[in-house]
Amino acid sequence: GAGVSQSPSNKVTEKGKDVELRCDPISGHTALYWYRQSLGQGLEFLIYFQGNSAPDKSGLPSDRFSAERTGGSVSTLTIQRTQQEDSAVYLCASSLAGTRIANEQFFGPGTRLTVL
């Protein structure tokens, strides 16, 4: 079946502009995660959605970052008033929710964001 998809694959924007990044998880996966990967760095957790529960926003670096997940499927990560330090690859992942068991996260191809 189809894997996790993300759009756009690349986004170049000017400092101060807002951007929206989209993630389509694997059908049936109720858990969805956003990560940020700066050049040559690891994966930095941003936000996590699980079913109808309130999202875990503990990784969002500032109030310029927000995310929503509509209908328990597609998610949008919004960055307002972008700064150059926001330049990175933004990865989305989804997984099956389990009871007291963490499951494999399947990653999308990422969106490479460049803020000029």
Partner 1 sequence: GENVEQHPSTLSVQEGDSAVIKCTYSDSASNYFPWYKQELGKRPQLIIDIRSNVGEKKDQRIAVTLNKTAKHFSLHITETQPEDSAVYFCAASIGSGNTGKLIFGQGTTLQVKP
Q: Are 69 and 49 in contact (CB under 8 A)?
A: yes
Q: Which is nearer to partner 1, 21 or 91 (CB)?
A: 91
Near partner 1 by CB under 8 A: residue from 75, 82, 105, 111 = 105
50 binds partner 1 (CB under 8 A): yes
- Asked whether the bond before 8 is cis by omega within 30 degrees of 0, the reply is yes
Taking contact as CB under 8 A, which single stretch among the options 17-25, 36-44, 64-72, 78-86 is the one that binds partner 1? 36-44
- Asked if 20 touches partner 1 (CB under 8 A), the answer is no
* 5 near partner 1, judged by CB under 8 A: no
Please, are residues 31 and 53 in contact by the beta-carbon 8 Å criterion?
no
Give me the sheet containing 75-79, strands edge to edge: 5-7, 19-24, 75-79, 65-69
Question: Do the Cβ atoms of 61 and 47 come closer than 8 Å?
Answer: no
- Minimal distance in Å, beta carbon 81 to partner 1? 26
The helix (H) or strand (E) run that includes residue 112 is strand 111-115
Residue 31 near partner 1 by CB under 8 A: yes
Stretch that binds partner 1, among 12-20, 62-70, 79-87, 103-111 (CB under 8 A): 103-111
Rg (CA), the chain: 14
Residues that bind partner 1 (CB under 8 A): 31, 33, 35, 41-45, 48, 50, 56, 91, 95, 97-110
